[in-house]
């Protein structure tokens, strides 16, 4: 039983590690994930790597092609539009909760995370930026105080973040996203749910 539990824990950790590599930009959309490379990188067996990739396929983060293997998912245009629609509905529903519930400590932490994203802009690659962005938005929606809503928003954001085709293609776009983060913090500080809603919608549409 202990060995079985240990194996399950190892698999869960492996899934998390590969998932984070995808979400935070270590692999571009469409990249083929070679079993031998993943085994060497994670120190795991081919069996566990396949199981982890199968689970990530269920989460829509990778695609499985028969007789070819696994590659990082590239959502088609219709999936991207549908995901953006659902994200907009859920994230807008969080805005009044955030504006009403945020404490001064929450505002200070969000301001710190917004600054961390701004400082990441000139970092090489996308990993630092994606991680800083994830941290800001995770804190933002956790402030709503509804764990189910927060989990659903995070899942959809994770599913779409690695394949963004919007602002993140340029430094100017990243700076525009950073300005949105600071504007979000200001709207929360002012307890203005209408302004917060407006910025959230603009932020999603440009992503």
For position 63, which CATH number holds?
A: 1.10.10.10
How large is the average pLDDT for residues 191-203? 97
pLDDT recorded at residue 186: 98
Mean pLDDT of 17-32: 84
Least reliable range by pLDDT among 14-28, 56-70, 93-107, 181-195: 14-28
Supply the pLDDT for residue 126.
Answer: 76
Q: 31-40, 167-176, 183-192: which range is least confident on average?
A: 167-176
Average pLDDT value for residue range 74-78: 83
- Taking the C-alpha atoms of residue 155 and residue 97, their distance in angstroms, rounded to an integer, is 19
Render 121-180 in DSSP notation, one character per residue: TTSSSSHHHHHHHHHHHHHHHHTTS-HHHHHHHHHHHHHHHTT--SGGGSHHHHHHHHHH
Q: What is the pLDDT of residues 143-185, one digit of tens each?
A: 999 999 999 999 898 877 655 555 676 888 889 999 999 999 9
Query: Are 19 and 110 within one domain?
Result: no
- Overall size of the chain counted in residues: 207
The answer to whether residues 149 and 177 belong to one domain is: yes
Last residue of a domain, one of 72, 93, 126: 72
For residue 44, give its domain range: 2-72
pLDDT at 38 over 70: yes
Output the average pLDDT for the chain.
Answer: 90
pTM: 0.77
């Amino acid at each position: 039983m202990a060995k079985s539990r240990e194996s399950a824990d190892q698999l869960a950790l492996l899934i998390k590690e590969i998932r984070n590599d995808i979400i935070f930009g270590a692999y571009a959309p469409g990249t083929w994930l070679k079993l031998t490379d993943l085994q060497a990188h994670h120190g795991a067996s081919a069996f566990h790597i396949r199981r982890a990739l199968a689970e990530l396929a269920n989460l829509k983060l990778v695609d499985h092609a028969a007789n070819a293997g696994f590659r990082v998912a590239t959502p088609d245009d219709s999936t991207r539009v549908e995901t953006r629609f659902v994200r907009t509905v859920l994230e807008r529903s969080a805005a009044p909760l955030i504006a009403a519930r945020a404490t001064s400590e929450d505002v200070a932490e969000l301001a710190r995370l917004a600054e961390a994203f701004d400082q990441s802009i000139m970092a090489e690659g996308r990993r630092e930026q994606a991680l800083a962005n994830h941290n800001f938005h995770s804190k933002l929606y956790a402030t709503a105080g509804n764990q189910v809503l927060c989990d659903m928003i995070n899942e959809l954001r994770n599913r779409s973040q690695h394949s963004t085709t919007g602002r993140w293609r340029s430094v100017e776009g990243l700076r525009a996203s950073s300005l949105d983060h600071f504007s979000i913090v200001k709207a929360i500080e002012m307890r203005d749910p209408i302004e917060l809603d407006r910025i959230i919608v603009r932020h999603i549409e440009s992503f």
